[in-house]
């Protein structure tokens, strides 16, 4: 729910419900996420430098403790800039 609300609040033209994701990269670095609506075939491109895939409700990020900052209000979620 939290991730869905964040996606919807971002300034994009999609809610992601019918989208597949492909990544654009240069020399092993992500430069964009390419979203394709599987119903209409319409594509949109979102520039980015990182991609986090969330599967399920509790992120499996324990291995990052002490390396990155976590969002204290959402257990397991990583702080972003």
pLDDT tens digit sequence for 62-80: 899 999 999 888 888 888 8
pLDDT tens digit sequence for 20-73: 878 888 778 888 888 888 889 898 888 888 877 766 667 788 899 999 999 888
Edge-to-edge strand ranges of the sheet holding 19-26: 19-26, 29-37, 43-47
Strand segments (E) across the chain:
19-26, 29-37, 43-47
Per-residue confidence band for 12, with pLDDT thresholds at 50, 70 and 90: low
Looking at 5-9, 10-14, 32-36, 62-66, which range is the least confident one? 10-14
pTM of the model: 0.46
């Amino acid at each position: 729910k939290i991730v869905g609300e964040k996606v919807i609040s971002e300034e994009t033209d999609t809610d992601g419900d019918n989208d597949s994701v492909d990544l654009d990269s240069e020399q092993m670095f992500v430069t964009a996420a390419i979203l394709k609506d599987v119903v209409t075939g319409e594509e949109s491109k979102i520039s980015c430098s990182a991609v986090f895939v969330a599967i399920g409700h509790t992120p499996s990020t324990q291995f990052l403790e002490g390396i990155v900052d976590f969002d204290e209000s959402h257990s397991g979620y990583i702080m972003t800039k």
